């Protein structure tokens, strides 16, 4: 296990961040199901995305790389084959596990998906249950709740599914399975989750319709691939944006970053807190909410005096990856910030409510949790100390940003987990320090 120590500092400069994880996963999966050869530029090479890449190689898809441009020779909807070694290991990648289950539900063979100890504790029934309703046969620990999971695909029936939680992974798994069902499959969410899957499927020729919080796909689909370029990851950007807003004298610009409207909630929350954050689209057409492709552009941020806000339950799905770093921002905001209904944080790589509260209490923050609510009173003078990653990449990165405003040195233990999503994080942080 590796540790790192950070000290108080400011951030300055211009940076291009690694490719978006969510889009990269979907680019690999959907291109593999297309009928033709697709070139993907700027694909994420984090451990999670490499798990998806290796899985589809094992399913018989030819994937080659040349100077970080990947060529995927699509096998068509029915061209995948049973993995020769019988088991697909997906490491710590929940996105890989849940989305691949959706694809495998429509195959004519059985597969076994396994994971590391952390992912094997994360709930899967939210995906296996609707896929079983469509006709897939899935077995695993506690009735398909936990990996390893064995799935026998086959003839699927369409469903109209009302999801109990807003989750892009759940929605995507059902839509991918819906490609194989005769008829129209609909997913209705309680709140809007990120929409990368439906955008990409539509651009590959799938019959997709979106009405409010409902998304429908009509199968059986025939996908025709198109070349893709993955934008920078806005979730990765959130760490440096918050670091800039809370560190006196800081100012940064992040170029070529994704600005999908279902992913910009963090920017809007920071502005609501009084942050000097602004963004500009690469092309003015991208600001249109009905723009079909992935929007991208430039974000700038400066040190700001933040104020407390309340984040309501209906905002949580669009902020789920950014909540840990927004908690850090709240420790430096004037007044009481309350984050309501954040229970989904408890079923990530770790219980992120517990990990963030326990670490920040050690640093001297005025923070507590009440069931699934988090209450933070600021601004707090944070003290350097030793904190834990709890094996969770977002906790580790959030604590490194908190270390920018501590008095004394902050040591984060067990930072290897950062490789699952952002291997270059600490190198980038070091480069932006001035």
Is 321 one of the annotated active-site residues of the chain?
A: yes
- CA distance linking residue 148 with residue 121, whole number of Å: 10
| Matching residue, tokens 């067990």 | 414
CB 151 within 8 A of CB 111: yes
- CA distance linking residue 63 with residue 32, whole number of Å: 9
CB 182 within 8 A of CB 219: yes
Q: Given the residues 321, 351, 366, 414, select the one marked as catalytic.
A: 321
- CA distance linking residue 88 with residue 187, whole number of Å: 27
Give, in order, the Cα–Cα distances in Å from 355 to each of 136, 391, 399, 407: 36, 10, 10, 21
| Matching residue, tokens 């998906």 | 113
DSSP assignment of 138-205, as one string?
EEEHHHHTEEEEEEE---B---EEE-SS--HHHHHHHHHHHTTBSEEEEEE-SS----HHHHHHHHTT
What residues contact residue 50 under an 8 Å CB cut-off, 6+ apart?
none
- CA distance linking residue 220 with residue 224, whole number of Å: 13
Q: Is 232 helix (H, G, I), strand (E, B) or coil?
A: strand
- CA distance linking residue 110 with residue 153, whole number of Å: 6
Burial class (CB in 10 A: 0-12, 13-18, 19+), 138: buried
Closest residue by Cα to residue 349 from 115, 46, 55: 115
Active-site positions read: 321
């Amino acid at each position: 296990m590796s540790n790192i120590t950070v000290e108080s500092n400011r951030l300055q400069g211009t940076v291009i961040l690694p490719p978006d994880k969510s889009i990269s996963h979907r680019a690999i999966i959907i291109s593999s199901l297309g009928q033709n050869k697709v070139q993907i530029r700027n694909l994420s090479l984090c451990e999670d995305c490499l798990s998806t890449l290796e899985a589809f190689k094992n399913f018989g898809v030819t994937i080659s790389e040349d100077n970080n441009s990947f060529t995927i020779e699509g096998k068509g909807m029915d061209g995948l084959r049973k993995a020769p070694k019988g088991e697909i290991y997906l490491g710590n990648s929940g996105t890989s596990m849940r989305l691949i289950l959706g694809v495998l539900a429509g195959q004519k063979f059985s597969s076994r998906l396994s994971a590391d100890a952390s992912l094997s504790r994360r709930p899967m029934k939210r995906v296996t249950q609707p896929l079983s309703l469509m006709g897939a046969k899935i077995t695993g620990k506690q009735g398909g709740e936990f990996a390893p999971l064995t799935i026998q695909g086959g003839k699927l029936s369409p469903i109209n599914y009302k999801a109990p939680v807003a989750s892009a992974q759940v929605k995507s798994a059902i839509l991918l399975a819906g490609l194989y069902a005769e008829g129209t499959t609909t997913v209705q969410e309680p709140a809007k989750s990120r929409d990368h899957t439906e955008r990409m499927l539509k651009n590959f020729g799938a019959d997709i319709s979106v009405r409010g919080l409902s998304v429908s796909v009509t199968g059986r689909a025939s996908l025709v691939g198109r070349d893709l370029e993955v934008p920078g990851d806005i979730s990765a950007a959130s760490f440096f944006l918050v670091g800039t807003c809370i560190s006196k004298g800081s100012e940064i610009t992040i170029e070529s970053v994704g600005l999908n409207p279902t992913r910009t909630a963090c920017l809007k929350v920071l502005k609501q807190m009084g942050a000097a954050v602004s963004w500009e689209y690469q092309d003015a057409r991208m600001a249109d909410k009905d723009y079909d492709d992935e929007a991208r552009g430039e974000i700038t941020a400066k040190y700001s005096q933040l104020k407390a806000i309340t984040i309501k339950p209906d905002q949580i799905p669009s902020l789920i990856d950014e909540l840990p770093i927004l908690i850090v921002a709240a420790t430096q905001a004037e007044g009481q910030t309350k984050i309501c209904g954040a229970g989904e944080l408890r079923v990530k790589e770790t219980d992120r409510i517990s990990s963030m509260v326990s670490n920040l209490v050690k640093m001297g923050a005025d923070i507590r949790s009440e069931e699934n609510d988090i209450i933070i009173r600021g601004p707090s003078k944070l003290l350097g100390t030793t904190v834990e990653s709890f094996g969770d990449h977002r906790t580790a990165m959030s604590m490194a940003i908190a270390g920018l405003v501590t008095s004394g040195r902050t040591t984060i233990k067990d930072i290897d987990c950062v490789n699952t999503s952002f291997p270059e994080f600490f190198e980038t942080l070091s480069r932006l320090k001035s």
